[in-house]
Amino acid sequence: MPSTRIQSGVLWVDSSGFPIRAHGGSVFEYHNIWYWYGADQYRPSNSTLRRKNSTANRVINVYSSADLRTWVYIGAAFKLSCAPQHVGSCYVDRPRVLHDRTSGNFVLWMKSTPSVAVAVSTSPHGPFSLLARLQPEPSPIGDIGAFYDPISQRGYLIYSIRVALSHPTANSRGSVSRSIRIVELTADLRGLGRVVHTFGYAREAPAPFVDRANRRYYLWTSRATGWRANAAELFTATSITGPWVSLGNPTKHPTSFDSQVSYILAVKKRSTRLEFIYLADRFEPYIAGPMCGAVLCESGRYIWLPIQFASRRGSTPLAGIAPISGNYRDSANLTVSWRDSWNLDDLVGRSIGSSVS
């Protein structure tokens, strides 16, 4: 019987025993099956083979699971075709999948520096066909996030951009830093609409999530330090348009447990209650410099940790790891603590893979 425990910072393998290659990834649920999409970081050690056979950031892999613990490799959900002369600057990363319920299609958004890319498929397995590479800003697009908002029933793309600073700060690099924009998607989730909010902060790696029971939005971010880990910062709002308020670093750790957020996963506990899991990558010590150009990047580890909400009413923790129970969850006391392992079923109060009432 498979373990119900999640281990962080160790090598994760799929059902066939091969390392899971899904970095900068996201997890999407459809018909009680979970799909994990992420960038393949495979780089052969031989430089000649690397140029010919590397799939690093040109392939988005997809894995499936019924319980969030045993992952089956499905295949390459998306492959980016690159001309030989453009291989060095041709890649995709940070995939996010949304479901268009009107057409039944699945829409894949990806970072594809200097732009964003959008692709579509009739199946969550893929393959996804490229629709367009979009450049909504005069400067290159950085990390992205995307989500469907059950409150407004709209899709949103969130991306970081480089901006000129009139007053550089300690978190910026000279006169240039990063800001984050939230952009509403078109009704079919395939195009970009209006900008609904711009953050005046030097942040990247946006990971949004919605606590719909309390009608509250969150945006988890990191600092702009390349692939190096740094202190997280969490923002919250009662409207997607803001105002957004900083809650500080919910990990209370200077490098967020040597990880960078990739996604916040919502798991249903009851009909209106969700629990949330912090999904992140740990690339150190697998990188040689500030960027992930070393062969060992494919050896990066995954960090999955439960997010804990304090409560104004009730104070009974579940097995020491689940959010405190109560009718109102206090967003000002949202934290993530390090755990070598933790029990996923304890978090949601049921066996993942079973039905939810």
Sorted by where each starts, the structural domains of the chain and their CATH numbers stand as 12-348 (2.115.10.20)
Average pLDDT value over all residues in the chain: 81
Rounded Cα distance, 284 and 206, in Å: 20
CA distance 302 to 304: 7
Is the pLDDT at 125 greater than 60, yes or no?
A: yes
- Per the CB < 8 A criterion, the answer to whether 138 and 164 are in contact is no
Name which residue leads in pLDDT, 259 or 85: 259
Which of 221-225, 231-235, 243-247, 309-313 has the least mean pLDDT? 309-313
pLDDT digits (tens, 9 = 90+) for 138-156: 988 999 999 999 889 999 9
Query: Distance of CA 219 to CAs 59, 93, 140, 209, Å?
Result: 27, 19, 21, 6
pLDDT band at 287 (very low <50, low <70, confident <90, very high): low
How much is the average pLDDT of 346-354?
69
Instruction: Report the alpha-carbon distance of residue 303 to residue 280 in Å, rounded.
Output: 5
Is residue 162 helix, strand or coil?
strand
pLDDT of the residue at 31: 95
- 146 Cβ contact partners less than 8 Å away, ≥ 6 residues apart: 96, 98, 109, 155, 156, 157, 158, 185
- The pLDDT tens digits of the residues spanning 235-249 come to 999 999 999 999 999
Q: What is the pLDDT averaged over residues 69-77?
A: 96
What's the alpha-carbon Rg for the chain, to the nearest Å? 19
290-316 mean pLDDT: 66
Predicted confidence band of residue 299 (pLDDT cuts 50, 70, 90): low
Summarised one tens digit per residue, pLDDT across range 9-51 is 999 999 999 999 999 999 999 999 999 999 987 655 444 434 4
Q: What is the pLDDT of residues 95-114, one digit of tens each?
A: 999 999 999 999 999 999 78
Q: pLDDT grade, residue 297 (50/70/90)?
A: low
What is the distance between the alpha carbons of residues 17 and 25, in angstroms, rounded to a whole number? 20
pLDDT band at 353; cut points 50, 70, 90: low
Residue 329 is predicted with a pLDDT of 65
Sign for the pseudo-dihedral over CA of 131, 132, 133, 138: negative
- Please name which of 263, 191, 226 lies closest in space to residue 38, comparing C-alpha atoms: 263
pTM for the whole thing? Answer: 0.87
- Give dist(CA 278, CA 261) in Å, integer: 7
Query: How many Cα neighbours within 13 Å face the side chain of 296?
Result: 10
Cis before 250? omega within 30: no
Of residues 244 and 178, more confidence is placed in 244
Which residue reads 């910026």 in tokens? 172
Residue 88 DSSP SS3? helix
Element (H, E) at 337: none
Q: pLDDT value at position 313?
A: 47
